[in-house]
Structure 1
Amino acid sequence: MINLIALLCLFPTIFFSILNLIDHRYVLSAINFSNSICSFTVLLLQYYGKHNIAKATLLTSNSVFFFAGALLYKNGGEYFLLCTLIVSMLMYDNRKIHIVLCITVAFLILLLYLLPDILPLSQQVPRSRSVFNIINALAFMVVAVNFFLDIIYKNMKKIEQQRLNLESMNRDKEKIFSIIAHDIKSPFANLEALVFMFRNQMLDSTASQEYIQQIYQQITQQNQALDDLLQWGSSSMQGMNTKASPQLIKPMIQQIIKVFNENTQSKQLKININIPNNTQIIANRDHTIIILRNLISNAIKFSYVNGNINIYTSMDETYTHIHIQDEGIGINPSKSAALFNEIQQKSFGTEDEPGSGVGLVLCKDLIERNKGVVNIQSTPNKGSVFTVGLPSCPSHKPQTNVEVPTCC
């Protein structure tokens, strides 16, 4: 706003300085030129970050020069003094400053009407120019007030949006703490009981092997849940950068599947990967691994024993779509729409595998950060197909004839 006012003062005062010089009003020309110099000085102060000095210089110089022009030449400068008062009240939020400036401007205007004319009528500016200055002053008041009102309304909208975001973050925080309290604390309590029995040799060799397997599975699941929670917290940080680069899909999926070997073997699942070796996407590698790991983990968790999991890709003009299809319990259509939008309650797989409820919301957040899309097609008791679309690598053309398995 200071820059705008300085520019609005700079060019007109230069123009009127030349015009008054031609009309032989040398003092008024000097006043206009001095005002131009002050406006230029204000812009320099703004450029070097001295904003408070710039504000004071702008208001003081304008008040002095407008008063001098109105006193000597009766050019309607008192209306510009009112403009200065309005601008000062918009620039400063200190009421004491408002009162001082109001008294000062009122005193200056009072002097203009009480003091006799200093110069003869013939040397004063034409009435038409006084009317022109008055109209410009009134127009400036309207523009200045509306400019600040626009800023205020925008700030109010930003504050309201920040309030809504804060409420959403608080709700997520409460849900995360609820998950930590129930879904993570309880399994650790079970682990404590198992370790206690081992320490006191309360289990025979056969039972020990079974409990060791349970401990291993619980530790693996809790590690994943904790990782999801940590990633969720870090992904919610404002200003988090997503560095995207070309990524081969197949090696990432093969790496993730190795992590779940124990789970797939225990449920006798067969994972079929039908992805060309050179298929690439443009995304953040760490984010992509988290997304695929969560979706593959869900496919394993909710698949029936001896089932198949098919992982394949398709392409269009914008995205490379990664499809993860399972033969499991499926999802009710009324619930599938909310899966990616809100933290879910604790769920259990076909073999009572627990979940954190955070994974899919985290996935959607990371997918959107990588300019991707996500979709789900599911049939209860038959299976689901989770589809993640991430930007295609420019060197790859869309596949026109892709064989896409249908949901079981």
Structure 2
Amino acid sequence: MILFWNKLIGDKAKFTIEARIFHSVCLLVLIALVVNVPYNYLMGTRNLAIVMLGIVLGVVAIYYSSRIKLLYNASVIAFQIYNNLLLIAIYYYNSGIHGPCYGMYIVSFFIGVIIVPKKQYWLWLPLNVLTIFGLLYYEATHPGWIINSYPNPSARFFDYGFTYIFIAGTIMLVAAYIREALHQEHTQVQEKAQTLEETNRTKDKLLSVLAHDLKEPLASIQGFLELLASYKLEESERIDIERQLLSRTKDTSYLLSNVLAWTKGQMAAVEVKLSSLHLQKTLSNTLKLVKGIAEEKHLEFEYHLSDRICIVGDKDLMQLIIRNLVTNAIKFTYSGGKIVVNTEIKENKCLIMVTDTGSGIPVSKQSSIFSLAARSTFGTQKEKGAGLGLVLCKEFTELQGGQIGFISKENIGSTFYVSMPLCQNFVAAQLEDRVEC
């Protein structure tokens, strides 16, 4: 019933609340008129019944022009004209001051305040007041002008009762719409405020990265270059500085890549292209690259990827996620430690796990590890980051329909895992002893 009524008054996305209230009023007036036409005819007020029947056709035309033809302003003007004519006719044929018409003038004024454009207030609202006062004055100064149309007290009782129900129902409906509109507006304001707060946090984090996390490694690179240019160094010293310079350059490049990827994600510009991915082919080059970084830090690095696993994901995003997880493991693992990347099939999901023997994550920091609230920390060799790597991993994993989590014990190590859906043809490929991606 509610869905049918909402269809009659118009969709929220297409019509303003004023238009929807106007359509509701038109329908209520039509219902009241349709009920009153036979009622007044049977009660002996046939002239009033005929007038109401004519007005029914006019209200139908007004409703059609606004609801179907979208001529809201013109329909409001036509409705106001019809409304005033209707009330005058009802006042005259329905016992004047002895009838319930003054109550209908009140609800008419109330509806006018809502549906009439403000620039037309000067016309319709004073007209409502002047009309009822004019009718009351004329009836008072011309006794006998209006004849009591009620054949008996019972008829008057039923007329007053029906009019009260109509007025109360109209006011209740209009008030409910206004209340609902205010609630929706309040909700939208809260959502916008929350979005603005998140945007400000994003902006502050980005400015912090640009002002500090990028400035510091660039300053170090500049210092190394000035040292090489200003002093004649021994070969061993030069090689050591060049090695540190290369390391800082790689760290800065990696950091900048993360900043750009994160900024792009915040601007809703990340395009996810899901497809069937051969896991080993997708990640092998990435893992070979980070293996070289691990070996520079004297870490043992192993990866075991089955050549028979297919997942559903985005190639570029998967490479970025695994690169970030492994780089993070390298950062927090001491020289001589070990990092292992392996996979496991579990409940139609592929778990890609990165396990290290590093410093682990303190319990106090574990709840915020995937959020911007997590402060960036130095690695085991004072490597500096922006604290964006794990944030990116979570965002990009969820964009692909996957899940990410971790298990960590302080001073023992951590295991980060990414759960991705398997290809639909993975099981069939396994049964046929082949892989199709």
Residue 29 of structure 1 is matched in structure 2 by 53
Alpha-carbon offset, residue 191 of structure 1: 1.2
CA contact (8 A) 1:270 1:308 kept: yes
Distance in 2 (alpha carbons) for counterparts of 1:332 and 1:234? 30
CA contact (8 A) 2:355 2:413 kept: yes
Alpha-carbon offset, residue 169 of structure 1: 2.6
1:62 to 2:85 alignment: no
Query: What SS does the aligned partner of 1:324 have?
Result: strand
Residue 351 of structure 1 is matched in structure 2 by 381
> Which of 122, 127, 136 pairs up with 1:113?
136
> Which of 361, 366, 371 pairs up with 1:341?
371
CA contact (8 A) 2:349 2:420 kept: yes
Residue 41 of structure 1 is matched in structure 2 by 65
Which whole-Å deviations, capped at 9, do the CAs of 1:204-234 have from their partners, x for residues lacking one?
4332222222222212111221122222222
Residue 126 of structure 2 is matched in structure 1 by 103
The 5 A counterparts of 1:178-193 are 178-193=208-223
Residue 268 of structure 1 is matched in structure 2 by 298
Alpha-carbon offset, residue 167 of structure 1: 1.9
Give the TM-score taking structure 1 as reference length.
Answer: 0.82
Query: What SS does the aligned partner of 1:344 have?
Result: coil
389-398 vs 187-196, which moves further: 389-398
Alpha-carbon offset, residue 340 of structure 1: 0.8
Query: What SS does the aligned partner of 2:217 have?
Result: helix
Distance in 2 (alpha carbons) for counterparts of 1:65 and 1:373? 63
Which whole-Å deviations, capped at 9, do the CAs of 1:7-59 have from their partners, x for residues lacking one?
5524862884697389463332121111110110001343xxxxxx51x2343
385-394 vs 11-20, which moves further: 11-20
> Which of 90, 93, 98 pairs up with 1:73?
90
Residue 37 of structure 2 is matched in structure 1 by 20
Going from structure 1 to structure 2, the CA distance change for 1:230 and 1:142 (only over 3 Å counts) comes to: same
> Which of 186, 194, 216 pairs up with 1:156?
186
Gaps of 5+ in 2: 1-16, 95-99, 429-437
Residue 254 of structure 1 is matched in structure 2 by 284
Going from structure 1 to structure 2, the CA distance change for 1:140 and 1:289 (only over 3 Å counts) comes to: farther
Residue 334 of structure 2 is matched in structure 1 by 304
Residue 329 of structure 1 is matched in structure 2 by 359
1:368 to 2:392 alignment: no
Which whole-Å deviations, capped at 9, do the CAs of 1:141-193 have from their partners, x for residues lacking one?
11222222222122212212321332233123223322222221011112112
Going from structure 1 to structure 2, the CA distance change for 1:140 and 1:385 (only over 3 Å counts) comes to: same
| Matched letter for residue 9 of structure 1 | C
139-148 vs 4-13, which moves further: 4-13
> Which of 172, 181, 184 pairs up with 2:202?
172
> Which of 386, 393, 406 pairs up with 2:416?
386
Going from structure 1 to structure 2, the CA distance change for 1:123 and 1:178 (only over 3 Å counts) comes to: same
Residue 197 of structure 1 is matched in structure 2 by 227
The 5 A counterparts of 1:385-404 are 385-396=415-426
CA contact (8 A) 1:63 1:81 kept: no
Distance in 1 (alpha carbons) for counterparts of 2:206 and 2:244? 25
Going from structure 1 to structure 2, the CA distance change for 1:220 and 1:12 (only over 3 Å counts) comes to: same
114-123 vs 336-345, which moves further: 114-123
The 5 A counterparts of 1:210-289 are 210-237=240-267, 242-289=272-319
CA contact (8 A) 1:66 1:78 kept: no
Query: What SS does the aligned partner of 1:222 have?
Result: helix
Residue 403 of structure 1 is matched in structure 2 by none
CA contact (8 A) 2:362 2:410 kept: yes
> Which of 26, 29, 34 pairs up with 1:9?
26
Distance in 1 (alpha carbons) for counterparts of 2:79 and 2:145? 21
Query: What SS does the aligned partner of 2:68 have?
Result: helix
Alpha-carbon offset, residue 254 of structure 1: 1.5
Residue 5 of structure 2 is matched in structure 1 by none
CA contact (8 A) 2:339 2:356 kept: yes
| Matched letter for residue 60 of structure 2 | S
Distance in 2 (alpha carbons) for counterparts of 1:19 and 1:89? 26
Number of paired residues?
A: 389
